[in-house]
Amino acid sequence: MDTDPETVVMEKTDTPREDSMSKKSNMTDELLELLKEEEAAEEKTGKEDTSGASRGRRASRLRRLSGKKIRASSARAERREKRRRMLKIAGGLLLLLCVVLLGTLYIRYAPTKERMDAKEYFISRMSSGEERAELLEDELAVVLQDHVESGKAILKDDALYLDYGIVRSQLNSRFFWDSGERLMIYTTALETYEIPLDSSEYTIDGSTQSWSRKILLGRGSTVYVDAGFLQQYTNMEYTVSPETYHAYIQNEWGTFLEAEVKRDTQIRYVGGVKGLILTDVKRGDRLRILEQMDKWSQVITSDGFIGYVQNSKLREVKETAVTREFEEPVYSSLTQERLINLVWHNVDSQEGNAYLEADTEGMTGVNVISPTWFRIIDNSGAIESIASAEYVRKAHKMGLEVWGLVDNFTYSFSTTELLNSTQARRALVGNLIGEALKVSMDGINVDLEAITQDGGYGYVQFVRELSIACRRNGLVLSVDVPVPAEFNRYYDRKELGTVADYVIIMGYDEHYVGSDAGSVASLPFEENGIRSTLEDVPAEKIISGVPFYTRLWYTQTDDSGSSVWSEAYGMGTIAKTLETYGVETQWDAETSQKYAEWVLEDGILCQIWVEDNESLSLKAGLVKTYDLGGIAAWKLGFENDSVWETLSENIGQESAGVPAQTETETETETQKETQKETEPAEEKDAQEEAEALTEH
């Protein structure tokens, strides 16, 4: 059957398809365009074929062409559909990726709600290195001011007991535990408390007192002190939180940086929203700020949790005064308004007391003399005394106060064992006070040297206990201490400066027997000692100690190396030595002393840093510069005749000669001459001087 091509085309185009109408229209337009092109070609050639065969061929060609176009269009449609499906898949994957990313960001940046166990928190804070702390059932961690202590507390019958180690090192060092006698000693300015272990009773100067519960508990080798009893004598506040396994103690008062909580929030173990929650704080709570950072601050809560909070949760960050009403103990002092000008008098026998006038002849300006009268002889506190009432009577007539010196280096015994024994300290105090009162001394000078760290705490306790006896009996108490250094910090100069009337800095032995060659007392050494001591002791209680001696150093060098030794000489002997060798000195700006060196015939190098009026004038001037309480010189007999005036002028004291004595007050002139012949008042020879120079 013949079919009109146009009809065929229309039938094709009108056949329903799943494709869109735009795609069908495009295909029909292409077929019509091809048909028109073929007809135009036939007209041009003039060979139009109107036969049915011609029309059939045309229709056949159109059908073939239409099939190709249909297949091509279908392929394109499939490709478009495939792309559409891929886009849908990609969109889904992108959406999934966004969800995952948002979830990751939430997990990373959203605040955690996980809480840290309170007990575990405090154990972690108490632990040191790999050693893990433990908290038994009745034990609590101790938060002190702004940190967690390694020591613990015990909660017994609702009472808090603190590890004595914390009490001694952080709260009140005046509580002294005698492990040998299992007794706690506490001293005030005038009283001594004795507190036995596991008892509610104690004594004050022998009078029995009672407390509502046991004051001290023992657990193994550790002693615990009742916090309520301790608080009576210590400026501290404490709270107990047994449900969170800790107690919080505040013992420092003043101005602190604090802030108010803006809205309810949490304190976290570390800075950051992922930090575990330690505790909650409410709007209006006050926090003390320990450290401020950009977005977080380290704080401590009112009940002792130390952690971190966001700065955005805080407001009104400001310095706040925190005080507590407490009456600090008052330690009266016999510190004098006048400048002290003291000289030590090395007396080694009862007979030596008779030479007071001869040894002080020509001395001016001095108002205190300190004879070396008392030597501790054993661990029990027994002493050897060569104190003389006649010496004191003569000294008083000369306008001199007498501060008898006690030392620990004449006899061999354990100073540490002595000082750590309450019974031995008590005996030593009693012996010294008894001798002082017997000869009417004015004061006691404590010269205990080479104190070890083990004996340092006992030494300070001895001075406390001696200060009570001196205060009661009107005796001036002075203590001799070395220039401050890391190795002798346990002397606790702050406490010594509180309980004693004077702290005398021994500003010499910068170089000593066994050390390298050098100055005995350079000016910087002396000044640094003063400045360091001023950090702990009031200026009016500090006396600057200076030497009247110098060391002559010898250095011998050979193939085996070098050996160094020295000899100590007084001022006069050194001047003669330099004259004998024809040596001229040069000023050493580093030490502020004259320096000389020479070589002996056998090749031994001699060196000396000279202590003379010029160097001593600079040291004495430090008393005026730092407004100190005075000066002290070691020792009488090593000086030259003019040094007294040098010291008096440079400390700011008017020179005053020793008052003349009447014959009824002193020995006769004949006796004096005899005394001078027996032991001249001039310097002893070099060998005697070296022997007389003790470890002082």
How does DSSP assign 15-50, residue by residue? Answer: S--SS-HHHHHHHHHHHHHHHHHHHHHHHHHT----
| DSSP type of residue 172 | -
CA distance 201 to 178: 17
Whether residue 158 is found in the same domain as residue 229? yes
Whether 588 is covered by a domain: the verdict is no
Residue with tokens 């000082």: 419
Any idea how long the chain is?
696
Per-residue burial over 550-581, b = 16 or more CB atoms within 10 Å of its CB, e = otherwise: bbbbbbeeeeeeeebebbbbbbbbbeebbeee
User: Does residue 369 sit within a domain?
Assistant: yes
CB 634 within 8 A of CB 508: yes
Q: Same structural domain for residues 361 and 292?
A: no
Give 185's pLDDT tier (boundaries 50, 70, 90). very high
Residues 103 and 126 in one domain: no
Q: Are 366 and 400 in contact (CB under 8 A)?
A: yes
Q: Point out the domain boundary residue: 274, 292, 322.
A: 322
Residue 175 amino acid letter: F
541 and 453 within one domain: yes
Q: Tell me, yes or no, whether 100 and 155 share the same domain.
A: no
In a domain, 317, yes or no: yes
Is residue 599 in some structural domain? no
Phi/psi at 504 (5° precision): -100, 120
Look at residue 632 in the predicted model and tell me its pLDDT. Answer: 98
Are 103 and 123 found together in one domain? Answer: no
Asked if pLDDT for residue 20 goes beyond 70, the answer is: no
Say if CB 637 and CB 359 are below 8 A apart: yes
The arithmetic mean of pLDDT across residues 22-32, rounded, is: 55
- What pLDDT does residue 275 have? 95
pLDDT-derived band at 34 (thresholds 50, 70, 90) equals: low
pLDDT of residue 79: 82
Handedness of CA 36, 37, 39, 43 (dihedral sign): positive
Classify residue 257 by burial, with Cβ atoms within 10 Å: 0-12, 13-18, 19+. middle
Q: Which helix (H) or strand (E) holds 7?
A: helix 5-14
619 and 540 in a common domain: yes
Task: From residue 652, give the alpha-carbon distance in Å to each of 370, 545, 623, 655.
Answer: 21, 16, 8, 9
- Per residue in 80-136, pLDDT (tens digit) is 888 888 888 888 888 888 777 776 665 666 889 999 999 999 999 999 878 899 999
Both ends of the chain: CA-CA distance in Å? 145
- The domain boundary, picked from 322, 356, 379, lies at 322
Query: Same domain, yes or no, for 249 and 129?
Result: yes
Rg (CA), the chain: 48
pLDDT > 90 in the chain, percent: 76
The DSSP-derived string for 574-623 is HHHHHHHHTPPPEEETTTTEEEEEEE-TTS-EEEEEE--HHHHHHHHHHH
76 shares its domain with 21 = yes
Q: Is residue 329 part of a domain?
A: no
SS3 560: coil
- Output the domain CATH number for residue 186: 3.30.457.10
Q: How far lies 456's CA from each of 212, 449, 466, 487, 661, in Å?
A: 34, 11, 15, 11, 44
| Range name among 41-50, 146-155, 194-203, 502-511 with the lowest pLDDT average | 41-50
Residue 140 in any domain: the answer is yes
Q: Residue 388 and residue 386: Cα distance in Å, rounded?
A: 6
CA gap 555, 563 in Å, rounded? 6
Tell me if 331 is assigned to some domain: no
- 378 and 446 together in one domain: yes
Say how many domains are in the chain: 3
Helix (H/G/I), strand (E/B), else coil: 125: helix
Average pLDDT, the chain: 88
The answer to whether residue 66 scores a pLDDT higher than 80 is no
CATH number of the domain bearing residue 661: 3.20.20.80
Q: How many helices (H) and strands (E) in the chain?
A: 18, 34
Residue 578 forms part of a structural domain: no
Q: Which residue segment(s) compose the domain that 99 sits in?
A: 5-107
Backbone φ and ψ of 416, nearest 5°: -60, -45
143 and 255 co-located in one domain? yes
As a dihedral over the C-alpha atoms of residue 414, residue 417, residue 420, residue 424, rounded to 10 degrees, the angle is -90
In this predicted structure, the answer to whether residue 230 has a pLDDT above a threshold of 60 is yes
What is the rounded distance in angstroms from the CA atom of residue 517 to the CA atom of residue 609?
Answer: 10
Q: How many CB atoms are closer than 10 A to CB 313?
A: 19
Q: 26 and 46, same structural domain?
A: yes
Average pLDDT over residues 191-208: 98
Distance CA 628, CA 141 (A): 45
pLDDT of 380 > 60? The answer is: yes
Q: How far apart are CA 175 and CA 226, in angstroms?
A: 12
Lowest-confidence segment of 188-202, 652-666, 681-695 by average pLDDT:
681-695
**pLDDT tens for each residue of 327-337:** 999 999 999 99
Where a domain ends, among 107, 128, 153?
A: 107
